[in-house]
Amino acid sequence: MGEWLAPDEWQAVALSLKVALWAVGLSLPFGIAIAFILARREFVGKQILNGIVHLPLILPPVVTGYLLLLSFGTQGAVGSLLQQFGIVLAFRWTGAVLAAAIMAFPLMVRSIRLSIEASDPKLEEAAATLGAGPMWIFLTITLPLALPGILAGSILAFAKAMGEFGATITFVSNIPGQTQTVPSAIYAFLQVPGGEGSALRLVLISIAIAMSALVLSELMARRIAKRMGAS
């Protein structure tokens, strides 16, 4: 791949993979927790929380990126506070991780929530009557039953993070070698004469990565289903 792709193209692919993996890894614990709360708990403000979680799907990505810039930029309330600890997100690859994670979060939560709702709550109730604590029930019953949804949500979030463009370019710009992900690089190449070849190569790489992720998730989901059926 290194010989087929030019150095700047390879940098964009490597950065996109890095951003997507970090985005999924950091958001997954929060996604599982919020999905469980929305699936198993009733409380005042539940619909508000659900709306906030899914808001990035409705808002234009540029709006989300602008809100991130206002909040996490060096002059923003959160950004200025983080800057005191040496953490800067705006116009850094770490900011691309934050933008990708926020845009992918609704897809992750929805998949995990549907998986939890599809599992029989009577199993959790039976474990509770036998004296199991809430955390033990979650770890030994709820989480294993939700594994297919967790896997599907993670793959969807990864794919979304790989393809995120609007919020990322608004929040961290399009700096080659620093914040230029594959979608940003494709856009940049299409703006210059003779860049169609580089853009096409990156498009093919994106398709290959997405298809590989889908095939891998399908194989893992079948393996998990077989294990659960055997048990």
Judged against a pLDDT cut of 50, whether residue 2 lies above it is answered with: no
On whether residue 2 sits in a domain, the answer given is no
On whether residue 94 sits in a domain, the answer given is yes
On whether residue 136 sits in a domain, the answer given is yes
Cβ count within 10 A of residue 1: 11
pLDDT tier at 130, thresholds 50, 70, 90: confident
On whether residue 1 sits in a domain, the answer given is no
On whether residue 200 sits in a domain, the answer given is yes
Which CATH number covers residue 68? 1.10.3720.10
pTM of the model: 0.89
Alpha-carbon span 150 to 20, nearest angstrom: 16
Full residue range of the structural domain in which residue 217 is found: 7-230
On whether residue 77 sits in a domain, the answer given is yes
Q: What pLDDT, on a 0 to 100 scale, did the predictor assign at position 184?
A: 93
Tally of domains within the chain: 1
On whether residue 128 sits in a domain, the answer given is yes
Q: What pLDDT, on a 0 to 100 scale, did the predictor assign at position 100?
A: 96
Which residue, among 105, 92, 87, has the nearest Cα to 180 in the 3D structure? 92
On whether residue 13 sits in a domain, the answer given is yes
Average pLDDT over residues 144-167: 90
Q: Which two tokens stand for residue 5?
A: 């792709």
